[in-house]
Every structure is written in C-alpha cells, then in structure tokens.
C-alpha cells in the first residue's frame, strides 16, 4: 500500500492507493452506482475476474475511487469511477495501461487527462431495463448456438478467424434473424453475471442490405427477454448521435440512465509523445 500526498483531497491530506483483489470491497463500492458500473460488477464473477486488474483509492480507509483494466482485448478496456483525486492517483501509480479504451463519467475526464491524451468522440448513453419496464418483443428471432460461430463472425465482418470465441456464445445469450437461411442480424451479450443478476447487451448488428426493417429491435428484444428470466436489470450502451437505435431500444422499454464517455486514450510521456510533440511545433493545430 502506498500513502500518496495529493493536493485537493477532500477529506485527508494523504490518499492510500493500492492494487486489490478483494472482490467484496470492490463490489461494495461499485454497488453504489450499480447501473453505471454494471460491466465492472459482472467482471467480478469467476469467469471474468482473472482477466482484470484493479486499483483502489481509500480516504481514511473508505473507498473513494476504483480503476479496472481488462486484458485480452486491444485496446484494452479501462473503467474508472469515483472522486477525481482518487482516479488520478490510481492511474498515476497502480493502473497504467499505455493505450486503453476508457469508460468514465464526463466529470472524470479532467482527472484522466492528467495522465492520458483523450481522443474525441460523442457521448454514450447508458440505458437499462427491468421486468417491470420491458415492453416485450416480436417473436421471430432465433437463438444462436456455438456451432454457428463462423456464420456469426462473418456477419460481424471479422472472418472465420473468430474474433468472437465460441465460449462467448456458449456462456452468453445470442439471437439472430435469418433470411433465406442466412444470418442477417444478431444481438448478444458482453457480460452476464448470474451472481449479481445483471447483464450487458452488445454486439448488435444488422447486415447493411437488411437495415431499416426492425431486425435490431427483434434481436435485442429476444436477448433481453431471455436475460430477464434470471437478471434483475439489463443494460446497454448506444451512441448519443444514433437516434434510430435509441428509438428502437426505448420501444422495448429501455430507459436512459446517464450520458458517459467512451474514449480511446494514450498515456502521456510514451514513445508516441516523443514522435508527435516535435511535429506539432512545425504543424500546429489550427482549429
């Protein structure tokens, strides 16, 4: 454990910052904002936890910030939650990916920017649904099974080299729409936690030749209905500049919870900076 002196700490002149594998401690903090931290809560399950690294900041023994990086993806996801001073301290001393795909509240961006260059992008909308608000769905989507992984990856445009592994389908929930025996739309899950009774819908895609026919609503609705058999809440993310998708999900009963940021970030002081910074002297940004 490191005791780090931080100017601006709200309750203490020193902040304790350390790595942790204490799932009980992490869950207690993440549960204070269950819908925002849904992905991270699901990553506490046995299946996902070995792929994660966690850093925590404590003020007088009380958790005030958590940062989590998830390995195995490129760029790797990075989730941050809590006070700005706590996030800054953890990113400075414990969780230090070179490049990552950040998920954070907008108010947390300044703390991240002290350690990282943050790319541009539209705000995301976190949406959620439960059994009471779910509006049902058309019943013509079919369950996708692990044996269809090649067809599913072809739809996603990722080829048969399996970006999406078989166990993602086996352990998750995927539904699709077929036209003339060919898969033209699909939706699935990013993470599912039976223990927390929480899940995140994702990988929603319709082939460009079949868009505008309601397939995304059908597949997402079918996935959501199946998840709500065992989950208390289901969440998903959608870009704030995608009105058709927002309308489709709202028609299923999904409600807006919050706007947040998903941004590509690069750590300051890396080789990238060494290359780019001299060029900026000769080619300044004139926007």
What's the confidence (pLDDT) of residue 7?
A: 38
Give the N- to C-terminal CA distance of the chain in Å, as an integer.
Answer: 44
What is the CATH number assigned to the segment(s) 2-124+262-282? 3.40.630
Residues of the chain with CATH 3.40.630.30: 134-253
DSSP SS3 for 215: helix
195, 223 contact by CB (below 8 A): no
- What is the reported pLDDT for 137? 80
Would you say residue 30 has pLDDT above 60? yes
Provide the token pair at 144.
């996708």
Query: What was the pLDDT predicted at 6?
Result: 43
Closest CA to 90 of 13, 18, 41: 18
Residue 5: what pLDDT? 40
- CATH for the stretch 134-253: 3.40.630.30
pLDDT in tens, 151-206: 999 999 866 555 789 999 999 999 999 999 999 999 999 999 999 999 999 999 99
Q: For residue 159, what pLDDT is reported?
A: 60
Distances (CA, A) of 196 to 66, 74, 84, 232: 18, 27, 27, 9
Digit-coded pLDDT (tens) for 223-253? 999 999 999 999 999 999 999 999 999 999 9
pTM of the model: 0.88
- What is the rounded CA–CA span in Å between residue 189 and residue 174? 7
């Amino acid at each position: 454990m490191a005791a780090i002196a931080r100017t601006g700490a709200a309750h203490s002149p020193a902040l304790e910052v350390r790595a942790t594998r204490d799932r009980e401690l992490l869950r207690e903090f993440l549960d204070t904002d269950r819908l925002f931290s849904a992905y991270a809560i699901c990553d506490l399950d046995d299946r996902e936890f070995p792929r994660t690294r966690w850093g925590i900041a404590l003020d007088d023994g009380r958790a005030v910030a958590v940062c989590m990086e998830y390995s195995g993806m490129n760029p790797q996801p990075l989730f941050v939650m809590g006070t700005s001073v706590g996030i800054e301290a953890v990113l400075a001393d414990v969780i230090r990916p070179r490049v990552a795909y950040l998920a954070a509240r907008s108010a947390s961006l300044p703390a991240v920017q002290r350690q990282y260059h943050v790319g541009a992008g539209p705000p995301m909308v976190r949406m959620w649904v439960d059994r009471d608000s779910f509006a049902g769905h058309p019943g013509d989507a079919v369950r996708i099974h692990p044996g269809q992984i090649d067809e599913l990856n072809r739809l996603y445009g990722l080829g048969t080299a399996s970006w999406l592994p078989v166990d993602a389908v086996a352990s998750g929930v995927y539904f699709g729409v077929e036209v003339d025996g060919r898969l033209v739309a699909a939706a699935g899950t990013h993470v599912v936690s039976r223990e927390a009774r929480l899940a995140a819908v994702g990988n929603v895609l319709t082939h460009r030749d079949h868009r505008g026919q309601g397939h995304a609503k059908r597949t997402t609705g079918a996935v959501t209905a199946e998840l709500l058999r065992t989950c208390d809440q289901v969440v998903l993310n959608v870009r704030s500049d995608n009105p058709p998708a927002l309308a489709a999900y709202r028609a299923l009963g999904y409600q807006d919870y919050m706007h947040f940021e998903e941004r590509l970030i690069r750590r300051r002081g890396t080789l990238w900076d060494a290359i780019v910074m001299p060029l900026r002297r000769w080619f300044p940004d004139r926007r």
